[in-house]
């Protein structure tokens, strides 16, 4: 997999969108492996415990992380963006529903380590997940995004996802109700060629 120069920590951690000067990172994207699991858990556990970027609330221990990886062979890959051996972000595709009829509809996850956000890494991972989904002949990718998560909404919009619904106050986390925006990118032949979603 080729390496991509990316600027580290380019956006303020307050989500303000202000760009900071920083040094470039050489980042590559590859399949996740067991050696990555501690770093993936560190990224995930912070979001699960302390932020509303995910509606999940449970941190993952070592055993849970191993189970997570085992649930992600092709055609539901787990991938990491790495700078050397350091995991700066990860992403995955999962079945959208645990029913055979939904086997070709997948849901994506993308998580970038704090301090490396706003530098294009989310885009790098999501583009690779879309490429893998097309290669695996999936039909749609879905994303379920808490509606205040402007970075994720923007990221998905930039990669061809369109909002297909909003669940009003379906998730309660960190003392408040959250709306959940559902976005979809269709991958069928017509949508691929005409860019109609």
Ligand X SMILES: CC(C)(COP(=O)(O)OP(=O)(O)OC[C@H]1O[C@@H](n2cnc3c(N)ncnc32)[C@H](O)[C@@H]1OP(=O)(O)O)[C@@H](O)C(=O)NCCC(=O)NCCS
Tell me which residues touch ligand X (CB under 6 A): 11, 15, 17, 47, 53-54, 110-112, 117-123, 145, 149-152, 154-155, 158
**Nearer to ligand X by C-beta: 54 or 65?**
54
**Please, what is the minimum distance in Å from the beta carbon of residue 160 to ligand X?**
12
**Please, what is the minimum distance in Å from the beta carbon of residue 101 to ligand X?**
24
**Please, what is the minimum distance in Å from the beta carbon of residue 153 to ligand X?**
8
Tell me the β-bridge partners of 94: 107
**Nearer to ligand X by C-beta: 4 or 139?**
4
Length of the chain: 197
**Nearer to ligand X by C-beta: 158 or 162?**
158
**Nearer to ligand X by C-beta: 55 or 188?**
55
Assess contact for 27 and 6: CB atoms under 8 A: yes
Assess contact for 164 and 182: CB atoms under 8 A: yes
Q: Is 94 exposed, middle or buried (0-12, 13-18, 19+ CB in 10 A)?
A: middle
Number of residue whose CB is nearest ligand X: 122
**Please, what is the minimum distance in Å from the beta carbon of residue 155 to ligand X?**
4
**Nearer to ligand X by C-beta: 136 or 151?**
151
**Please, what is the minimum distance in Å from the beta carbon of residue 12 to ligand X?**
8
């Amino acid at each position: 997999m080729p390496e991509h120069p990316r600027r580290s920590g380019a956006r303020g951690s307050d989500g303000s969108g202000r760009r900071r000067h920083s040094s470039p990172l050489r980042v590559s994207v590859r399949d996740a492996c067991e050696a990555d699991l501690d770093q993936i858990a560190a990224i995930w556990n912070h979001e699960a415990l302390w932020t509303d970027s995910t509606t999940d609330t449970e941190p993952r221990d070592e055993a849970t992380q191993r189970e997570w990886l085992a649930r992600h062979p092709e055609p539901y890959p787990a991938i990491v963006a790495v700078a050397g051996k350091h995991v700066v972000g990860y992403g995955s595709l999962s079945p959208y529903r645990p029913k055979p009829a939904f086997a070709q509809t997948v849901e994506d996850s993308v998580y970038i380590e704090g301090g490396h956000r706003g530098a294009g890494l989310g885009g790098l991972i999501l583009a690779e997940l879309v490429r893998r989904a097309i290669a695996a002949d999936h039909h749609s990718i879905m994303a379920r995004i808490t509606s205040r998560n402007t970075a994720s909404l923007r990221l998905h919009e930039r990669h061809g996802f369109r909002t297909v619904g909003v669940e009003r106050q379906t998730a309660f986390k960190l003392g408040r109700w959250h709306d959940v925006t559902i976005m979809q990118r269709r991958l069928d032949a017509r949508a691929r060629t005409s860019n109609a979603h």
